[in-house]
Amino acid sequence: MTNTKKLVIGWFSFTCCEDSTILLTEMLNEHLSDWVKKIEFRYFKALKSDNSIVDLDVAFVEGAISSPSQEAELKKIRENSKYLVAIGSCAVTGQPSSCRNSLVPEEINYKISWYLSHFDYSKNVQKIEDFVKVDDMVSGCPMESKHFLEVVTKYLTLFNIN
């Protein structure tokens, strides 16, 4: 009997330059034909509008967390995913998206204050692991593509998908 189970994944972006998303779209040049047979992209906002965060096998999360609403979204992703992988430097370390954390008070001018007070910014920008359990990390700015492929292979194997 053929195993029809696909790895159900979500790809999420928080505060960052989305370079890992762009790198992933480049990796699709080579891998998409194979991956669509093995992977269901249940949440991938850059590529589809019909997205869902329910029953994910693996959530891939790029970017750092800037606000309480992003924190709540991240926790919701974690609750709905068996595994969660932090993708790229901002997700893994917070940097460089968290550079505003080190602005001294005299650098927080009225323009920055306006934005901080008109939207729900948290005091500090933080990495993913500060809020939820992270099962794997792919670091790099953008993510290191070879390591990312190894992580994808690891989860395909874990879920018995060949």
Which residues of this chain interact with another protein, rule CB under 8 A?
13, 15-23, 25-26, 28-30, 32-33, 36, 41, 44-51, 66-67, 70, 96-97, 99-100, 102-103, 107, 109, 111-112, 115, 118-119, 121, 125, 141-142
Following DSSP, what letter does each residue of 34-46 receive, concatenated? Answer: HHHHHEEEEEETT
CB of 112 to another protein, least distance (A): 6
Nearer to another protein, 65 or 132 (CB): 65
Nearer to another protein, 111 or 133 (CB): 111
Following DSSP, what letter does each residue of 41-79 receive, concatenated? Answer: EEEETTT-S----SSEEEEEEESBB-SHHHHHHHHHHHH
CB of 75 to another protein, least distance (A): 17
Nearer to another protein, 35 or 155 (CB): 35
Residue 67: CB partners within 8 Å, gap ≥ 6? 119, 120, 121, 122
